[in-house]
Structure 1
Amino acid sequence: MIAIHRLADRRFAPWKNGGGQTAEIICQPPGAGIDDFAWRISTARVAASGPFSTFPGVARTLCVLEGGPMVLAFDDGRTETVTETSGPVRFSGDIGCQATLTGPALLDLNVMCRAPYGCHVGPTWSETLKQVVARYLLALADGAGLSRYDLVELDPHQPPPAAAGLCIDILEG
């Protein structure tokens, strides 16, 4: 384990478009702004339906951690329903997206990457041949010294541990 990014340390701020709140957990390079990060992991509170901000050149991966569901309607005609059990939804930050809550307010996890970076988010570690440059485990329950939604930074050069949460690999290539 390299570091623990505690839920208790997160501070929520308005979204880029002002329609919700986000709490950045980590971004690279450190101190980068919303327009110049290479990759970024954050959580967001979504309490009302509305548009998502666009992020040209950014690949986005989103999953609902609690609450919802939420229907995402993209300007290209695609729709996706995201729930606590549906797994992550991947989409381009280049296209417009309208979010419609069909249940209670929710908390989601967002991983955003600019080329040459990408990500794998899910219940297991990536099996891709791309190089893992950063590895994180999001705790989904309290235990083992962690609180729910703490993000544990792991050594990407060591074999990954058995997953006991949501696995996040940042990939290059």
Structure 2
Amino acid sequence: MTVDIRPMHADDALEIQRQPSQRIQLGMDREMTREEAEALADGPGEAWCARVDGRIVALTGLRETFPGVQAVAWAILSTGIGAAHLAVTRHARRRIADSAYRRIEAIVRVDVPAEVAWAKLVGLAPAHVLHCFGAASEPHLLCELVRPAPGAATIAGGG
């Protein structure tokens, strides 16, 4: 099996057959609009599409929130990701590790262990539980990777 990972196009986000749990975003079950797909593919940061035998198995990326400084790590996994999961996870971990962003974060649902595990596998550390977060007021976990500026003071217990 060969996993082909290339830059994402907006149509990829509309084509992927998302896992049922991937349909829920911050407590809302919804479809992605073309405008959202274009912003994800073409917006600041980076976006990747992983295919196996021409079928999309995952979309991943780093959505820049503050130019050159901060980004949100994200992933959309397909129902048929199967054995490609390892290659997709390794790619996401490399992109995060090689990134110049000083802060990368992701917010995942506490009650979905696979989301928490994946955030850790790509190099993010659990930082804080967000109680009653999102449209469904569910517990979420803020996961992060923080690279302090050289010589910067750090807060005890933090990055």
Output the TM-score relative to the length of structure 1: 0.28
Bigger RCO (CA 8 Å, 6+ sep): 1
Structure in which a larger fraction of residues adopt strand:
1
